[in-house]
């Protein structure tokens, strides 16, 4: 089946930039998503990118997509302690409505 991989942990200092990386295997992916999950809560959709785009920026968030290498990244500028959470990468294949999730990256922001 399709696979989505993420590094498990990232630690940064407040004010620095954070970059969370994700790789996927489905070459027919149409949309790729980033979700944020705080402890004990559901998932919050942060942003998504269509597979024919290279970059999407939304305030402090920048998504980069390298379709050739099947690599997706999420950059959070000026990271705050409130950004500490687990970030999930997910992809949706062509013709499917279901998402395939990575295992999540725990981001820890220290003051």
Partner 1 sequence: GAVVSQHPSRVICKSGTSVKIECRSLDFQATTMFWYRQFPKQSLMLMATSNEGSKATYEQGVEKDKFLINHASLTLSTLTVTSAHPEDSSFYICSANSGTGGGDEQYFGPGTRLTVT
| 24 touches partner 1 (CB under 8 A) | no
| 103 touches partner 1 (CB under 8 A) | yes
Could you tell me which residues are beta bridge partners of residue 105?
Answer: 87
Q: Which of 68, 69, 97, 111 binds partner 1 (CB under 8 A)?
A: 97
Residues 104, 9, 24, 96: what is their CA dihedral angle, to the nearest 10 degrees? 10
Stretch that binds partner 1, among 11-19, 45-53, 65-73, 74-82 (CB under 8 A): 45-53
Distance CA 18, CA 109 (A): 9
Burial class (CB in 10 A: 0-12, 13-18, 19+), 23: middle
Could you tell me which residues are beta bridge partners of residue 79?
Answer: none
| 33 touches partner 1 (CB under 8 A) | yes
Distance CA 80, CA 70 (A): 28
Q: CB 4 → partner 1: shortest distance, Å?
A: 8
Which residue lies nearer to partner 1 by CB, 59 or 111?
Answer: 59
Binding site for partner 1 (CB under 8 A): 30-31, 33, 35, 40-45, 48, 50, 88, 92, 97-99, 101-104
């Amino acid at each position: 089946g399709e696979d989505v991989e993420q590094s498990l942990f990232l630690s940064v200092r407040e004010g620095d930039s954070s970059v969370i990386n994700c790789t996927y295997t489905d070459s027919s992916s149409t949309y790729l998503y980033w979700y944020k999950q705080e402890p004990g809560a559901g998932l919050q959709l942060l942003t998504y990118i269509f597979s024919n785009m290279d970059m999407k920026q939304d305030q402090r968030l920048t998504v980069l997509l390298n379709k050739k290498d099947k690599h997706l990244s999420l950059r959070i500028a000026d990271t705050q302690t409130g950004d500490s959470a687990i970030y999930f990468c997910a992809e949706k294949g062509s013709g499917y409505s279901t998402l395939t999730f990575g295992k999540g990256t725990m981001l820890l922001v220290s003051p």
